[in-house]
Amino acid sequence: MESKKRIIAIGADHAGYEYKEILKDALSEIEVKDFGTNSSDSVDYPDYAHPVADAVEKGEAELGILFCGSANGVAITANKHQGIRAAICWNEEIAELARKHNDANILCIPARFVSSEQAKAITQKFMSTEFEGGRHENRINKITNNHI
């Protein structure tokens, strides 16, 4: 029986373009849907964060990865979508906890503050870590504003 290939959505603004391209090459065993940008020319990060968040929200991708200079812009944008839990991760431990405890489904990496090798390691940790559930499940269910 053939296993289903993982699908990851990826996007970046100009500050994260180079890392996005490096990461795409490193993820050769995974189907990567690239939502741009396609150069280091200045662009607006929401133009790339929204399509990645849409793909994850609609189930067209299992997880998303976004890059911008600080990761704040793409994280804020992605978190406007229902069911998206975008986490800014600058090291492997934060990436692991974002998945384990917060069931984060979009990884946001600050390209100006980590090396390309760190970005690869952070991504690997994020993608290989599963949500723990348990006591964290109730907390995740409280994130939406439906409890009022």
Residues with catalytic function: 68, 101
- The token pair at 33 is 């849907």
User: d(Cα 72, Cα 18) in Å, to the nearest integer?
Assistant: 18
> CA–CA distance from 61 to each of 24, 33, 70 (Å)?
15, 8, 24
Q: What angle do CA 3, 130, 22 make, to 5 degrees?
A: 75
| DSSP H helical ranges for the chain | 17-26, 46-57, 72-78, 92-102, 116-128, 135-141
User: d(Cα 57, Cα 55) in Å, to the nearest integer?
Assistant: 6
Contact between 96 and 88 (Cβ < 8 Å): no
